[in-house]
């Protein structure tokens, strides 16, 4: 089996009056991501890791924020679309691992629900989706609650 690794990163500004959606789960928060889509930072970093592994470019090329078709769209829909392309070139996702960095709320209680959203789209068992959360320790834009960031690595396989 040929193995491909991909790395994805995303960051969104947090503003009052928007929903905070991470991993397709709507979280209790008085601020949410400023974005053209639903601003799901975890799914966006995951998409970029998959596109990177497949040599398929990046999320901005596939879903330009100038395109009204993607206004307010659930990022799970974008992930679904990307998985069509990943499968088209013969790749299978073996596992993903993500670190979400934000001050609040604590994400641990929501990981199971996030994995339930992501697993069927990625074609993975939930235990092959790593989710972790960190705070910014009060430092910088993330630490002051002005932003949320996420890193994802994905391992994909090709053939037997």
Whole-angstrom distance, CA of residue 18 vs CA of residue 105: 15
- The answer to whether 72 and 38 have CB atoms below 8 angstroms apart is yes
Q: How far is the CB of 47 from Mg ion (least distance, A)?
A: 9
Q: Which stretch binds Mg ion (CB under 5 A): 16-24, 38-46, 102-110, 147-155?
A: 38-46
One of 4, 6, 10, 115 touching Mg ion (CB under 5 A) = 10
Query: Is residue 18 close enough to count as binding Mg ion by CB under 5 A?
Result: no
- The answer to whether 3 and 155 have CB atoms below 8 angstroms apart is yes
Beta carbons within 8 Å of 41's beta carbon, 6+ residues apart: 10, 11, 12, 22, 33, 100, 148, 149, 150
Query: Is residue 115 close enough to count as binding Mg ion by CB under 5 A?
Result: no
Q: How far is the CB of 125 from Mg ion (least distance, A)?
A: 26
Q: How far is the CB of 150 from Mg ion (least distance, A)?
A: 9
- Residue numbers at the binding site for Mg ion (CB under 5 A): 10, 44
């Amino acid at each position: 089996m040929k193995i491909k690794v991909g790395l994805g990163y995303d960051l969104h500004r947090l503003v009052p009056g928007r929903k905070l959606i991470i991993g397709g789960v709507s979280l209790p928060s008085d601020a949410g991501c400023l974005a053209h889509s639903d601003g799901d930072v975890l799914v966006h970093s995951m998409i970029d890791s998959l596109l990177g592994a497949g040599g398929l470019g990046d999320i901005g090329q596939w879903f330009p924020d100038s395109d009204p078709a993607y206004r307010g769209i659930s990022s799970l829909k974008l992930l679904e679309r990307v998985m069509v392309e990943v499968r088209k070139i013969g790749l299978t996702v073996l596992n993903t691992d993500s670190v979400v960095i934000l001050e609040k709320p604590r994400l641990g209680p929501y990981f199971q629900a996030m994995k339930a959203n992501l697993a069927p789209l990625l074609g993975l068992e939930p235990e092959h989706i790593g989710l972790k959360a960190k705070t910014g320790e009060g430092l910088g834009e993330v630490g002051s609650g002005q932003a949320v960031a996420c890193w994802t690595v994905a391992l994909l396989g090709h053939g037997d």
